[in-house]
Amino acid sequence: MGYIKINNLNFKYSNSREDALRDFNLSIKKGEIVAVVGESGSGKSTLLRILSGFEVPYRGEVELDRRTLISENTFVPVEKRGVGMVFQDYALFPHFTVEENIRYGVDRLSKREQRETVKNMLNLVDLGEYEKRYPHELSGGQQQRVGLARALAPKPGLLLMDEPFSNLDTNLRHRIRDELKEIIKSTNTTALFVSHDKEDALMVADKVVILNKGEIAQVGSPIEVVESPANEYVSNFFK
Ligand SMILES: Nc1ncnc2c1ncn2[C@@H]1O[C@H](COP(=O)(O)OP(=O)(O)OP(=O)(O)O)[C@@H](O)[C@H]1O
């Protein structure tokens, strides 16, 4: 579980003449963490919106564990994709406790399994004592970890994260960055996150994808993209 293949994705917004994403190809191995970076307007959010099912490409395929999610004649709806999302603003349900938030994605399990999942997830994100709290009673970093626990609870084949560090101040950002990586690695989850911050990408990701005007400028390990930039856009981005 967790092998992703993206073939030749092309997408255009209906009110636009230019493609927002062009000939996008990417394979992600199980357990790998991929960061997608690029200047504002380069297509990062568009890619995330396609993978999470909010937009439909006019060409291209996406497979998760050899199961086609998107193709010319396939569109698997969001809730059936086995894809978990962590949103920029965490998007926790404000009137649900931490426990209820995490339980939300696994409500088809038996009550006993639900309790077990919640307990495991709270331990994983180190929030064992917080299950009865409401989101507004938590710090930003804690809310983010609840968001992560909620997304991981159904054991998604792919975890998508939108700017996971953008709402945190610098100190917390550094700590959460390490924690998040550790949690994702410990569950061997395949993950893709979007960031406008080069440092976040280089510190957390195994593989970095740099987008320029909807096209891939380079894909490589953090060392490769910094030490052997494929072009000027990439070298400027990591300056
Ligand atoms: N709803 C929309 N309708 C038309 N064009 C759009 C829409 N959303 C985005 N675009 C355009 O598509 C391109 C890619 O935008 P996208 O939001 O994916 O970029 P981004 O890399 O996520 O930018 P940012 O870092 O600023 O969030 C841009 O040219 C943008 O203007």
Residue with the bigger pLDDT between 54 and 218: it is: 218
Distance 69 CA to ligand 1 centre (A): 23
Q: Domain limits of the chain?
A: 4-82+158-237, 92-155
What are the φ/ψ torsions at residue 163 (nearest 5 degrees)? 45, 60
Between CA 55 and CA 36 the distance in angstroms is 18
Q: Which of 154, 147, 176, 185 is nearest to 33 (CA)?
A: 185
CB atoms within 10 A of CB 228: 11
Determine the residue of 22, 42, 165 to mutate for testing ligand 1's pocket, defined as the one with the most ligand atoms within 8 A of the Cβ atom.
42
Distance 21 CA to ligand 1 centre (A): 10
pLDDT > 90: percent of the chain: 72
- pTM value is 0.92
Determine the residue of 9, 12, 13, 19 to mutate for testing ligand 1's pocket, defined as the one with the most ligand atoms within 8 A of the Cβ atom.
13
Residues having CB closer than 6 A to ligand 1 are 13, 15-16, 20, 38, 40-46, 196
Between CA 171 and CA 185 the distance in angstroms is 22
> Which class in CATH covers the domain with range 4-82+158-237?
alpha beta
Distance 42 CA to ligand 1 centre (A): 7
| CA separation, residue 198 to residues 10, 83, 155, 194 (Å) | 25, 25, 28, 11
* DSSP codes of every residue in 191-225: EEEE-S-HHHHHHH-SEEEEEETTEEEEEE-HHHH
Q: What was the ipTM of the complex prediction?
A: 0.97
pLDDT digits (tens, 9 = 90+) for 16-57: 999 999 999 999 999 999 999 999 999 999 999 999 988 999
Distance 5 CA to ligand 1 centre (A): 23
Distance 20 CA to ligand 1 centre (A): 7
Can you name the residues that pair with 209 across neighbouring β-strands? 36, 219
Can you name the residues that pair with 10 across neighbouring β-strands? 59
CB 217 within 8 A of CB 211: yes
Q: Which of 161, 166, 144, 163 is nearest to 98 (CA)?
A: 144
pLDDT digits (tens, 9 = 90+) for 167-216: 777 777 888 888 889 889 998 999 999 999 999 999 999 999 999 999 99
